[in-house]
Amino acid sequence: MMLPPTTIMVAAAAAVAAAAERVFYVVLVDESQRDHARAAACTWLRVVAPPAKTILVTERNRSTFLASFRACSFRPAPHLAVKSLLDYTHVVRRFATALKPADDDWVVIAHAHTLVRPGKLAAMLKDRQIGDYAGLVRNASDGPQYLGYFPHVAPEHGLVLRGVAARKLTTEARRDDFDFRAAEFGAARLAAELRAFGITPTDSDCFRAVSGDDDDDDDDDWMQRGVTLGPLDPREMLAFGARVWGSALRPPPSYPKSSSSPTLAIAVLVRESEAVEAVAAIERGWGSAVRRENGRNSVEFFVSADVVVAADKEDVVRLALPPRPDASSRFYWSKKSFAKGDEWNEWLRRKVAAVARRFYDDDDHDETSSRDFVMIVDDDTEVVPGRLFEVLAEYDPRRAVAFGRKFGHVEKGALVGGGPGIVISRAALRRMAAVDCPDALPIISKTVPGGDGWLGQCFDMAGVRVADDWRFKSFPRHAYPPDQRSRFATFHRNSHKNPVFFVDPTTTCRHVVSHWILRRPTCAPRFAIIGAPKCGTTSLHYVLGQHPDVALPSRKELNFWGSPWSSSSATPTTLRSFLFRYLGAFPYGRVTGESSPDYFVSGDAPKNMLRFVPKIQLVISLRDPVDRAASAYHNKLDDKSLHRYLNVDDPRLDTDLPSYTPPSFSDLALDVNDTLETCPDYARHRTMREPGQPGCFVNPFVLHSYYAKYLRPWFDAFQPHHFLVLDYADLANAPNATFARLAHFLGLSPFPYDTALRYNTRHNRGVHPASRRRNKKPRAGGIVTATYRDPPGPWTIDHRTATILHRYFRSPNRQLHALLATTGHAKPSWLRSSSSQ
């Protein structure tokens, strides 16, 4: 039965909403896969859930979509068209806005090629406590301290979400700059957005990745039998991805598959420059344990012919390949393979092809002597032998399957990443032998153009199913919480993944970010001293750094999260591209943090930090506003950069500097007075760098002492307990007590700091050498020096200037007082003196 195309989607959607059973199926249909996608979607409607319960989501418009359903003679389900199927957050948002699910409703999100057994799923949703967001959790765990990828659920294996969670996503658009080229970014983004509402995924073993099947199954027959049939065996699947779109739904494979003690041959692709060390390390590590496992396993090391390594070692296989290209280039370590050029990828593909060929040439087609599985790993793959063999025992070597950490959200071109290792069953190897894929296969994946890409294509040509197994991990062991590590079969020591979107810094440095570019683990900052400028932040930074448990970046002001004065200030693009560099600035293993006083006055820093380092502890120092303004003024006067803070990017002034007569502090105060007369509304006061109406300009030296204005976005973003608000006067007069407070706030043990060392005072401040030279562009920031001189007293300011400024700060001080009171912070000394109030 098919409704006319004029059927209005909204009406159908309303029918869904009114359905008695409140489980919605949101099915993602990749129409670029045309017939297969349609077949899958039609099958969904016929077998899994009728249109009244299903919302189909495509990237095409409605008319194309409706037309496609004529073909399957089925009434079209409600339809949502989205820009990208992989933007799961948007999909959920659209769904929740259109259908307004009730709190207790369930939303099941799956790709059309995901097998779902609705009866079993409904039973599970009813009976089991699975939280508000569940599925097969990838790359992570529920560990709250996990740092790396957010724990996230891959919709291709099915994902369930409570109505209440789906609706939350409609309340606020948090993150808009994701890159959807990789499916897991979309899935991780959804996780990140939900996480902002305190919703973390539950890992349920009922959502499984497909693990292998042969191609002889009669899908139609199975579909006739219905997906709700069968006992709910814990090893059966509620949902899993099928291999090809054309045969969208497949029966769950039956377990156990292989013998209890599968046999395995491992090929290690060894980087020539490190071959000797790598071979030795693997032998010492997992190599011999793999060989021992059942006495029939082998581990061989494959190097290219131009390298002489361990000549006496019979397990080292020299491949007859042309010399490795650009081995001396600085890109040698870069894993951006596609950037290295065709020659390089060509070579990598030939290498893997040669290894695969060697495997199948060795195959004597005797089931008793042939290995059940072969595996190709990198020399930085860490294999956990015991666990690996348990995993292998779940697969049937007689079925043509390759598995590991799968890439690619659709089955077309699906491949397994080489880092965590690629396992190929005996049957798969034989199919590959029959096809004997040529070395020159076109590169179909830009992200994986090398050897693993070639294998993926060869799997496709040979009809080898590519399966995702969650126990193959693309991060190093330390990136996973200790209690999770024992579950995994492999790790990749030098992860290729960019953790940019998934950083979840914790308050302790024991949790690390690992990035392939860094080639070492690093630590997300636990704290940031965010200003205010000229309030002793340099002394706070360096004196704190004396603590043995504290390790600081080599530079004080990273200004990564945003500074109105910095050209390298964060934009969505720079944030995304450079977060790893920022993280790379932090030493590993101790409490770390940074100090960038410009964050205080940056409009962007609070939201950027909340987004990427939400657990960070923020240290703020506040000083008498007039004194701070004078300090800031004299600092820029010394730097010969005053004009930059008073004129909007006037390039002439840099070159005409000798003729530039800077205004005095008193002149500036008079200007402020004028502004106050003509523009009494403080909300309109701005420095030249802040957006807003013209006419209410207040120079930044003065305006940046309007603390309430700049503090408000911070307190809006972070909870009060994130902040330690210090009084500059305490730093000057009671430094030991001040540093003790700071240490306590950061969870550091007491330490006898040398607090008499004072940095960046007006007596010892370094002026950038360029600023001293005539006609040279002035540069901010000099060499940081410290002295034991007494702290400088307040600036001498003439009476008229002081009166103007005290008058100016009356209202800002009152606002600050109120803000600190509502956030539970003590008021600084100058607020206690009545003159300021």
Listed ranges 132-140, 411-419, 535-543, 605-613: which one lies at the site for ligand PPS (CB under 6 A): 535-543
Q: Cβ of residue 586: shortest distance to ligand PPS, in angstroms?
A: 19
Q: Cβ of residue 731: shortest distance to ligand PPS, in angstroms?
A: 5
Residue 239 vs 529, nearer CB to ligand PPS: 529
Dihedral sign for Cα 209, 213, 215, 216, please. negative
Contacting residues for 413 by C-beta, under 8 A, at least 6 apart: 444, 445, 456, 457, 460
Q: Cβ of residue 601: shortest distance to ligand PPS, in angstroms?
A: 10
Q: Is 631 annotated as a binding residue?
A: yes
Binding mask 386-425 for ligand PPS (x = CB under 6 A): ----------------------------------------
Cα 25 from Cα 78, distance rounded (Å):
11
Residue 617 vs 675, nearer CB to ligand PPS: 617
Q: Is 738 a binder of ligand PPS (CB under 6 A)?
A: no
Please give the structure tokens belonging to residue 500.
Answer: 């940019």
Q: Cβ of residue 728: shortest distance to ligand PPS, in angstroms?
A: 7
Q: Select from 233, 269, 278 the least CA-distant residue to 251.
A: 233
- Strand ranges, E, within 660-803: 723-727, 758-759, 786-787
Residue 188 vs 724, nearer CB to ligand PPS: 724
Please give the structure tokens belonging to residue 67.
Answer: 């037309």
Within 662-798, residue ranges assigned H as helices are 665-678, 700-703, 707-717, 728-733, 735-745, 769-772
Q: Is 536 a binder of ligand PPS (CB under 6 A)?
A: yes
Of positions 487, 791, 806, 823, contacts ligand PPS by CB under 6 A: 791
Dihedral sign for Cα 792, 797, 801, 802, please. positive
Q: Select from 361, 364, 328 the least CA-distant residue to 344.
A: 328
For residue 12, is the peptide bond before it cis, meaning its omega torsion is within 30 degrees of 0?
no
Q: What angle do CA 729, 732, 734 make, to 5 degrees?
A: 90
Question: Could you tell me the CA-to-CA distances from 471 to 241, 376, 403, 492, 744 in Å, in that order?
Answer: 17, 16, 10, 12, 40
Contacting residues for 685 by C-beta, under 8 A, at least 6 apart: 675, 679, 696, 697, 698, 703, 706, 709
Residue 498 vs 546, nearer CB to ligand PPS: 546
Q: Cβ of residue 539: shortest distance to ligand PPS, in angstroms?
A: 3
Strands 239-241 and 114-116: antiparallel
Contact (CB, 8 A) for 473 and 443: no
Cα 612 from Cα 561, distance rounded (Å):
10
Residue 94 gets the label, from left (phi > 0), alpha (psi -120 to 50) or beta, of alpha
- DSSP string computed for 712-727: HHHHHHS-GGGEEEEE
Q: Cβ of residue 634: shortest distance to ligand PPS, in angstroms?
A: 6
Q: Is 535 a binder of ligand PPS (CB under 6 A)?
A: yes
Cα 727 from Cα 627, distance rounded (Å):
13
Q: Is 381 a binder of ligand PPS (CB under 6 A)?
A: no
Residue 360 vs 710, nearer CB to ligand PPS: 710
Q: Residue written as tokens 């089955």?
A: 411
The H-or-E segment that residue 277 falls in is helix 275-282
Residue 392 vs 622, nearer CB to ligand PPS: 622
Of positions 574, 689, 792, 815, contacts ligand PPS by CB under 6 A: 792
Q: Residue written as tokens 């959920």?
A: 92
Cα 511 from Cα 521, distance rounded (Å):
9
Residue 230 vs 791, nearer CB to ligand PPS: 791
Active-site hit among 534, 556, 636, 640: 534
Residue 502 vs 561, nearer CB to ligand PPS: 561
Q: Is 666 annotated as a binding residue?
A: no
Listed ranges 269-277, 381-389, 533-541, 680-688: which one lies at the site for ligand PPS (CB under 6 A): 533-541
Q: Is 705 a binder of ligand PPS (CB under 6 A)?
A: no
Q: Is 710 a binder of ligand PPS (CB under 6 A)?
A: no
Q: Cβ of residue 651: shortest distance to ligand PPS, in angstroms?
A: 24
Q: Is 762 a binder of ligand PPS (CB under 6 A)?
A: yes
Q: Is 534 a binder of ligand PPS (CB under 6 A)?
A: yes
Listed ranges 52-60, 171-179, 464-472, 758-766: which one lies at the site for ligand PPS (CB under 6 A): 758-766
Of positions 258, 563, 761, 801, contacts ligand PPS by CB under 6 A: 761
Of positions 245, 389, 459, 759, contacts ligand PPS by CB under 6 A: 759
Please give the structure tokens belonging to residue 198.
Answer: 């305190």
Q: Is 828 a binder of ligand PPS (CB under 6 A)?
A: no
Q: Cβ of residue 654: shortest distance to ligand PPS, in angstroms?
A: 21
Cα 540 from Cα 621, distance rounded (Å):
9
Residue 567: how many CA atoms within 13 Å on its side-chain side? 4
Q: Is 564 a binder of ligand PPS (CB under 6 A)?
A: no
Q: Is 760 a binder of ligand PPS (CB under 6 A)?
A: yes
Q: Cβ of residue 730: shortest distance to ligand PPS, in angstroms?
A: 9
Contacting residues for 337 by C-beta, under 8 A, at least 6 apart: 344, 345, 348, 448, 449, 450
Listed ranges 182-190, 205-213, 307-315, 532-540: which one lies at the site for ligand PPS (CB under 6 A): 532-540
Q: Cβ of residue 679: shortest distance to ligand PPS, in angstroms?
A: 27
Of positions 111, 758, 825, 827, contacts ligand PPS by CB under 6 A: 758
Residue 164 vs 637, nearer CB to ligand PPS: 637
Neighbours of 201 (CB within 10 A): 29
- 373 SS3 class: strand
Residue 99 vs 731, nearer CB to ligand PPS: 731
Q: What is the footprint of ligand PPS within residues 74-93 (CB under 6 A)?
A: none
Q: How far apart are the first and last CA of the chain?
A: 78
Cα 61 from Cα 83, distance rounded (Å):
10
Q: Is 704 a binder of ligand PPS (CB under 6 A)?
A: no
- 647 SS3 class: coil
709 is catalytic: no
Binding mask 620-649 for ligand PPS (x = CB under 6 A): -----------x---x--------------
Cα 789 from Cα 769, distance rounded (Å):
23
Q: Is 597 a binder of ligand PPS (CB under 6 A)?
A: yes
Binding mask 488-527 for ligand PPS (x = CB under 6 A): ----------------------------------------
Residues in contact with ligand PPS, counted by CB under 6 A, come to a total of: 20
Q: Cβ of residue 834: shortest distance to ligand PPS, in angstroms?
A: 24
Q: Is 533 a binder of ligand PPS (CB under 6 A)?
A: yes
Residue 171 vs 733, nearer CB to ligand PPS: 733
Contacting residues for 282 by C-beta, under 8 A, at least 6 apart: 268, 299, 301, 379
Q: Select from 835, 830, 818, 837 the least CA-distant residue to 794.
A: 830
Cα 277 from Cα 274, distance rounded (Å):
6
Of positions 165, 377, 462, 732, contacts ligand PPS by CB under 6 A: 732
Listed ranges 72-80, 219-227, 477-485, 727-735: which one lies at the site for ligand PPS (CB under 6 A): 727-735
Residue 58 vs 687, nearer CB to ligand PPS: 687
Residue 457: how many CA atoms within 13 Å on its side-chain side? 20
Of positions 58, 68, 474, 537, contacts ligand PPS by CB under 6 A: 537
Q: Residue written as tokens 């007596």?
A: 763
Please give the structure tokens belonging to residue 163.
Answer: 């109505």
Give the active site residues: 534
Q: Which residues are annotated as a binding site for 3'-phosphoadenylyl sulfate?
A: 623, 631
Q: Which residues are annotated as a binding site?
A: 623, 631
Residues that bind ligand PPS (CB under 6 A): 533-539, 597, 631, 635, 731-732, 735, 758-762, 791-792
